[in-house]
């Protein structure tokens, strides 16, 4: 069953013309872009910076409404719940970890005190009353992951959620996020530049090129073992993808 359907999506940006600062020129980021994502499928989007991957997530999340085309999110899902793990943690600094999560809770989550439960689940039970200023980078990221899952979302958007983190911490958070994705059975889109990360998360990897953004390769991924960054299976698939088509390196 199709969960997210994107048909003929087009998006333009007005940018200052480098030759004449008084004038603006139109940048066509997406033109007739099409993508279907199945129920409970995790799709990773890989492509060079600035081609419109984050713009696509902003459109899907409702943060960008200036586009042409059709976005359909399966209405059979009752009370569609969408979540977003942003590139930066985006925690409100004047609220504690608990308050940051409670703010986004729906009525059902408030009744069950899901905010405390999810903070326990990500190992932050001792920091629920801490302000973001007092948390380490990894802890802030964990709070933002907890926030994304507190309402048991149906759809999860992730915009390079583990970028600029140290490798061991990034691996720990990837593992935690994959476990939450599996537990909640969400349909997810991950935007990343890291092919190994994409292999860990995704059922399908979509490689995109720029100006305007278009899909030039899709690869189904099936892992037999637990997804662990840099393990033999992930490295094997990585080599297989790179070996098949060296142009994919451009999308790394």
Q: For another protein, give the closer residue by CB, 151 or 192.
A: 151
Nearest approach, Cβ of residue 155 and another protein (Å): 10
Distance of CA 123 to CAs 106, 138, 146, 153, Å? Answer: 22, 11, 10, 20
Distance between CA 128 and CA 151 in Å, rounded?
Answer: 17
Nearest approach, Cβ of residue 90 and another protein (Å): 5
Q: What is the radius of gyration, based on Cα positions, of the chain?
A: 19
Q: Give the x/- contact pattern for another protein in 118-157, rule: CB under 8 A.
A: -------------x-xx----------------x------
Preceding amide of 212 cis, omega within 30: yes
Nearest approach, Cβ of residue 87 and another protein (Å): 9
- Out of 28, 88, 179, 244, the only residue in the binding site for another protein (CB under 8 A) is 88
- From 176, 163, 151, 152, select the one nearest 86 (Cα to Cα): 163
92 lines the binding site for another protein (CB under 8 A): yes
Nearest approach, Cβ of residue 32 and another protein (Å): 26
Looking at 58-66, 172-180, 184-192, 226-234, which segment touches another protein (CB under 8 A)? Answer: 58-66
- Out of 27, 73, 77, 82, the only residue in the binding site for another protein (CB under 8 A) is 82
Nearest approach, Cβ of residue 151 and another protein (Å): 8
Q: 3-state SS string over 23-42?
A: CEEEEEEEEEEEEEEECCCE
Cα-Cα-Cα-Cα dihedral of 160, 130, 83, 87, to 10°? -20
Distance between CA 87 and CA 54 in Å, rounded?
Answer: 9
Distance between CA 209 and CA 117 in Å, rounded?
Answer: 41
Q: For another protein, give the closer residue by CB, 2 or 103.
A: 103
| Count of residues touching another protein (by CB under 8 A) | 20
Binding site for another protein (CB under 8 A): 58, 61-63, 82-84, 86, 88, 90, 92-95, 103-104, 131, 133-134, 151
């Amino acid at each position: 069953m199709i969960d997210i359907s994107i048909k003929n999506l087009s998006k333009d940006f007005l940018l200052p013309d480098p030759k004449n600062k008084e004038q603006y020129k139109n940048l066509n980021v997406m033109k007739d872009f099409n993508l279907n994502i199945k129920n409970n499928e995790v799709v990773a989007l890989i492509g060079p910076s600035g081609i419109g991957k984050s713009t696509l997530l902003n459109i899907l999340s409702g943060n960008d409404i200036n586009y042409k085309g059709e976005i359909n999110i399966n209405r059979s899902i009752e009370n569609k719940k969408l979540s977003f793990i942003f590139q930066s943690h985006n925690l409100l600094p004047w609220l504690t970890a608990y308050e940051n999560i409670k703010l986004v809770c729906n009525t059902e989550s408030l009744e069950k005190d899901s905010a405390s439960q999810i903070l326990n689940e990500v190992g932050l039970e001792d920091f629920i009353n801490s302000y973001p200023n007092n948390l380490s980078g990894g802890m802030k990221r964990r709070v933002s992951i907890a926030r994304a899952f507190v309402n048991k979302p149906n759809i999860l958007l992730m915009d390079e959620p583990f970028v600029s983190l140290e490798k061991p911490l990034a691996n720990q958070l990837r593992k935690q996020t994959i476990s939450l994705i599996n537990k909640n059975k969400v349909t997810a889109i991950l935007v990343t530049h890291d092919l190994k990360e994409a292999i860990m998360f995704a059922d399908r990897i979509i490689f995109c090129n720029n100006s305007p953004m278009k899909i030039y390769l899709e690869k189904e991924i099936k892992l037999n073992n637990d997804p662990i960054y840099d393990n033999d299976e992930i490295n094997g698939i990585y080599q297989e993808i790179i070996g098949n088509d060296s142009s994919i390196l451009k999308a790394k």
